[in-house]
Amino acid sequence: MSAPFTVTARDGAARTGRLETAHGSVETPAFMPVGTAATVKAMTPEGVAATGCRMLLANTYHLMLRPGAERIAALGGLHRFMNWPHAILTDSGGFQVRSLAALRTIGEDGVAFRSHLDGSRHLLTPERSIEIQHLLGADVTMAFDECTPYPAERGEVEASLELTLRWAERSRRAFVPRPGHFLFGIQQGGVHLDLRRRAAERLVALGFDGYAVGGLALGEGQATTFAVLDASVPLLPEDRPRYLMGVGKPSDLVGAVKRGIDLFDCVLPTRSGRTAQAFTRAGTLNLRNARHAGDAAPLDPDCPCPACTGFSRAYLHHLVKCGEILGSMLLTAHNLTHYAGLMAAMRAAIAAGRLAEFEAVP
């Protein structure tokens, strides 16, 4: 397998690139909004695209339970089902069966669990995870893995990693290559740098189209996250995209890009939009605060999103206090526009050789 990924500029460890998928090009570094159940919450597909996004994430675990991968396939695949013409990455379901499923049992074959929705029994194996993602029509399929919790004893982390590596090999065999569709392996190993090296060596030997760094941003703190990236990212191939899973705050994104990461996803900008938090160039605002009640200024005068070009902070505060759905919609659109703008600014800084000067508001 070989992903058509081209590095277009470098600045230290950081780089810009282009990933050519079956549903269009993705300029990297890029942030993927999370569309867990085939929708980015409080957004239309057209609204997501208007932020500048050309790739989003959907969830294998949730879609296998409802409405079902076979049903989505019968309806023309996930892109048609959710009216999203651009690229989609699907996670493997490994994290969700640990965090959501009831009465789960992890074994060599896979994970047996009861649905958190209705208690129905399921077995998710590497082969079934890859099959589901194939049925969905994902542009990027993720290998099935076990996400080790943090903190955990080294022995637990090592055993989990070895299981993930065996599942990675099975995922690799189960994947059906097609033009514009790729399979990424996931590097685990917790905060243990020797385990991260082991994971990278074994995954690279299997020959994935891209490589994700998983098992971070679980409470270890930003300094530890960056230390792990400093040690583990250089072990991944230069000619393949690198994806940091579940991260994060703007300062996390900047620090990870400086260390060579190309792709990100996180629920933070959309979840924050639904809880009255707005990311701006001047810092994060809480629109519930009474100080915004009489403020006629926009959230950010330089932001092109609908919230900033059409409405005042006072109106957004009013929507939030009244519990109006429009408040969540506007703030989510703003946050995703802010994140997309941050990534575009970093791409420009890398091209100009000035990323070292680039900082993000915490």
Residue 146: closest CA among 166, 158, 160, 132: 160
User: In this structure, are strands 242-244 and 263-265 parallel, antiparallel, or unpaired?
Assistant: parallel
Confirm if 141 and 182 have CB atoms less than 8 A apart.
Answer: yes
DSSP state for residue 142 in the 8-state scheme: E
DSSP state for residue 144 in the 8-state scheme: P
Q: What single-letter amino acid sits at 230?
A: D
Spot the catalytic one: 91, 209, 252, 262.
Answer: 91
Residue 188: closest CA among 174, 178, 175, 198: 198
Told to judge if 295 belongs to the known catalytic residues of this protein, a careful annotator would answer no
Burial of 294 (0-12, 13-18, 19+ CB in 10 A): exposed
For 281, list phi and psi in degrees, rounded to 5: -65, -20
DSSP 155-215: HHHHHHHHHHHHHHHHHHHH---BTTBEEEEEE--TT-HHHHHHHHHHHHHH--SEEEE-S
Secondary structure of 243-273 in HEC code, one letter for each residue? EECCCCCHHHHHHHHCCCCCEEECCHHHHHH
Spot the catalytic one: 209, 262, 265, 300.
Answer: 265
Residue 270: closest CA among 115, 69, 39, 41: 41
In this structure, what token pair is assigned to residue 136? 């969905």
Scanning the chain, the segments in alpha helix (DSSP H) are: 45-50, 60-65, 69-74, 78-81, 94-99, 126-136, 154-174, 193-206, 222-232, 250-257, 268-274, 306-310, 313-322, 325-351
Q: Compute the chain's Rg from CA coordinates.
A: 20
Told to judge if 265 belongs to the known catalytic residues of this protein, a careful annotator would answer yes
Give CA angle at 235 (4, 88), nearest 5°. 35
Active site residues: 91, 265
